[in-house]
Structure 1
Amino acid sequence: MKLQRHGLVVALAAAGAILLAACGSDPNSGSGAAAGSSSANSPAVDCNGKASLNAEGSSAQKNAMDVFAQAYQAKCTNAKIAYNPTGSGAGVKQFNAGLVDFGGSDSALNATNGETTAAAARCQNNPAWNLPMVFGPVAIGYKVNGVSSLTLTGEVAAKIFNGQIKTWDDPAIAALNSGVTLPAEPINVVFRSDDSGTTDNFQKYLKASSKGAWTQGDGKKFNGGVGSGAQGSAGVAQALAGTEGSIGYVELSFAQDNKLDMAKIDSGSGPVELTDATVGKAIAGVTVTGQGNDLVLDLTKTYAGPPAGSYPLFLATYEIVCSKGYDAATATAVKAFLTVAATDGQANLAAAGYAPLPAEFQQKLLTAVQAIA
């Protein structure tokens, strides 16, 4: 399996050392016997579950899942996983319908629209858990001839994405970009046409950071009412790369793949570029609001008031799993895959454009994974 490589290594400020298990260190790894971890803080990996797992969902975590799958097959050589990157909305629906073993989503299950109840029913009347496995920066990518540097605030971004600002030379954009020649051409907004956790996070960011300019709410469907849609993260990035005057939101790895220019964000302390240090500074303060082993994260506070000098636009990708309700073979395999993903699988995430788990999150995640029954 060939893995894509990306330039950004997202460091997590104040996160501490990442506790990684050595890949394949146990001579029984992949033989069907339980494979021990080389880290005293990491649980053993039992490779005796069912041979093939199926999962579906977030396209934002597709490259991360490739990394995890490679690590899983190195640890459990007779096991495999098939991941279909159809988008967060589809992943939740397929999981709730019992068609996949776990779902991938850029947003936690939504109780208001019935996702939490449907997931519990799928899990034989047991709660489903949201387990954050991947952090991914979201870029505001654009293509404007002659403009290689662009600064936006949450307020100006909101007005672009809901159609209040229609041309690139609008005074509100010009005021943030002194010395930049902005063309008098229409702004072509590109958004995700499918249900997407990336869209949900982006709209939550606009709602929290725009000082009331974004009134369209959030959710997995884009509510801005302007622009043209594209399917999946890859579709958005390709549309941006091929459309003059375009702007859209897309995960960093896809922006890098398509060589998109990326806007800086000014949250009040000056323009901040999307870099390893600035993303890590924002991620470091995020807190868990879920109960027990349901590790839902609160990103809204970070979106609304990020630390000075931080880049606040990022998402957390969750794996949606049953706390109980799997058959024994499936539960063993799900636990094995997620344990490897949270340990060995973290080693190559930075090269794929993602942020490795902070150490404190990793330990909470491993505790939750081992509690799956």
Structure 2
Amino acid sequence: MAVAAALALSACGSDNNSSSSSTTSAAASGSAASSCPSGTLNSAGSTAQANAISQFIKDYQTKCSGTTVNYNANGSGAGFTSFVQKQSDFAGSDYAMSTTQAAQVKSSGRCGSGEAIDIPAVGGAIAVIYNIPGVTASINLDAKTLAGIFDGTITNWNNAAIAKDNPGVTFPSLAIQPFFRSDASGTSYNFSNYLNHLGGFAAANKQWPGKAGQGAKGSAGVAAKVKSTSGGIAYDEYSYASQNNLTYAKVSNAAGDYVQLSSANAAQFIAQAQVEQTGADTHVVFNYNYSNADAYPAVLVTYEIVCGTGNDSSKLPLIKGFLGYALSSTAQSELTNLGYIPLPSNVASADVKAVDSLS
């Protein structure tokens, strides 16, 4: 699915009814999940969740005639800015608001005298995609090896550290061409968080903290660069890797075992996350020490940032209606076939309370 800079999707049908992994179960309920108010919502942000949001929009507009939901996939940082500037009714982000961002919402009066909250919406995995001529099988890449590649200390595909990870694989003498997200990105935040915990990389940051490579804008931009560059490597949201038929690596977990990327393996890791909820503000904290051999550790959860209180009264029913639908079991069951991960039941239950509390 090609994702344009802006997704303004008109009503059209979708009858996908794929089942989610047994380790996950989203079960939104209540009035928010079933309401069909008319009107228009504008939203922006995360490119990682864009393919999922576009599906939710198509299905919701089919379900609710008279409703229009626009989503501008311009990146997590830009989406947050548009939310603060009241250009968006909610923003998609691949990371929860920082203390600084929350204070910015408060000081700007974006939510009146209230505050914005984070609501986890879409689970995902981060693929390590690469383009190595002559190497078509999935290779193994240790977190420390990846940290070296993105810090510029490992610069050729025939490096001894890569060969050690991959006995029996012949790598060409070819310069490694790392690519990273040039825009403020939750995919960057989550992947650098994984490398920080298990590879000794720099601290997690939405502005990519690595020292090597070239930047590309958006998930689609990163995928395109790797696809067209011999020796290229990057991190990218799983659905983009799948849609572009890119090869992706097995990556190491806390035990040093290599884990294959699959929806089921990513779901197993996400299911171990801790849910932290303060009022309606809901955060997911990953346990990088979890080392089950079938749990893929490079993952993310996207959030919708919305006013907890102080929403435009004319928009509030539609905000609750659409977000309620996006978090429902019907919508979440679409995610696996799109290359995403349905939310675990503990996250989904917290989300229902958050959406129902919006005012």
Q: Note whether the superposition's TM-score is higher than 0.5.
A: yes
CA-CA distance at 1:288 after TM superposition: 1.1
Match of residue 318 from structure 1: 303
Report if aligned partners of 2:219, 2:236 keep a CA contact under 8 Å in 1: yes
Report if aligned partners of 2:258, 2:293 keep a CA contact under 8 Å in 1: no
* 1:153 aligned residue (133, 136, 142): 142
Q: Distance in 1 between matches of 2:27 and 2:354?
A: 16
Q: Distance in 2 between matches of 1:338 and 1:345?
A: 10
1:19 equivalenced with 2:30 (yes/no) = no
CA-CA distance at 1:133 after TM superposition: 0.6
- The 5-angstrom pairing of residues 124-273 of structure 1 reads 124-147=112-135, 148-210=137-199, 212=200, 214=201, 216-267=202-253, 268=255, 270-273=257-260
Cα distance change, pair 247–10 in 1 and its aligned pair in 2 (3 A): farther
1:286 equivalenced with 2:286 (yes/no) = no
* 1:94 aligned residue (82, 99, 102): 82
Report if aligned partners of 1:59, 1:87 keep a CA contact under 8 Å in 2: yes
Q: What's the Cα RMSD here? A: 2.1
Partner amino acid, structure 1, of 2:312: D
Report if aligned partners of 1:10, 1:354 keep a CA contact under 8 Å in 2: no
Cα distance change, pair 357–42 in 1 and its aligned pair in 2 (3 A): farther
CA-CA distance at 1:181 after TM superposition: 0.2
Which one is further off, 194-203 or 118-127?
118-127
Tell me, what secondary structure is at the counterpart of 2:301? strand
* 2:285 aligned residue (280, 287, 298): 298
CA-CA distance at 1:72 after TM superposition: 1.5
Partner amino acid, structure 2, of 1:318: Y
Q: Distance in 2 between matches of 1:70 and 1:84?
A: 15
- The 5-angstrom pairing of residues 27-46 of structure 1 reads 41-43=29-31, 45-46=34-35
Partner amino acid, structure 1, of 2:149: I
Q: Distance in 1 between matches of 2:290 and 2:343?
A: 22
Q: Distance in 2 between matches of 1:181 and 1:42?
A: 56
Match of residue 358 from structure 1: 344
CA-CA distance at 1:13 after TM superposition: 4.8
Tell me, what secondary structure is at the counterpart of 1:139? strand
Identical columns (%): 36
Q: Distance in 2 between matches of 1:320 and 1:262?
A: 30
Q: Distance in 1 between matches of 2:262 and 2:171?
A: 24
Q: Please list every run of 5 or more consecutive structure 2 residues that lacks an aligned counterpart in the other structure.
A: 1-8
Match of residue 23 from structure 1: none
Cα distance change, pair 18–58 in 1 and its aligned pair in 2 (3 A): closer
Q: Distance in 1 between matches of 2:19 and 2:225?
A: 26
Q: Distance in 2 between matches of 1:295 and 1:312?
A: 21
Report if aligned partners of 2:124, 2:266 keep a CA contact under 8 Å in 1: no
Count of aligned residue pairs for this structure pair: 342
Q: Distance in 1 between matches of 2:13 and 2:154?
A: 39
- The 5-angstrom pairing of residues 90-129 of structure 1 reads 90-111=78-99, 114-120=100-106, 121-129=109-117
Q: TM-score, normalised by structure 2?
A: 0.90
Tell me, what secondary structure is at the counterpart of 1:329? coil
CA-CA distance at 1:105 after TM superposition: 0.2
Q: Distance in 1 between matches of 2:265 and 2:335?
A: 18
Which one is further off, 79-88 or 217-226?
217-226
CA-CA distance at 1:269 after TM superposition: 5.0
Report if aligned partners of 2:270, 2:344 keep a CA contact under 8 Å in 1: no
Partner amino acid, structure 1, of 2:323: L
1:271-321 deviations in whole A, cap 9, x for unaligned? 21101331122111101124131111112x23x444333111110000000
Match of residue 79 from structure 1: 67
Match of residue 327 from structure 1: 312
CA-CA distance at 1:264 after TM superposition: 0.3
Report if aligned partners of 2:42, 2:89 keep a CA contact under 8 Å in 1: yes
Q: Distance in 1 between matches of 2:23 and 2:208?
A: 34
Q: Distance in 2 between matches of 1:140 and 1:260?
A: 10
Cα distance change, pair 18–104 in 1 and its aligned pair in 2 (3 A): closer
CA-CA distance at 1:355 after TM superposition: 1.2
CA-CA distance at 1:358 after TM superposition: 2.2
Q: Distance in 2 between matches of 1:160 and 1:108?
A: 27
Partner amino acid, structure 2, of 1:102: F
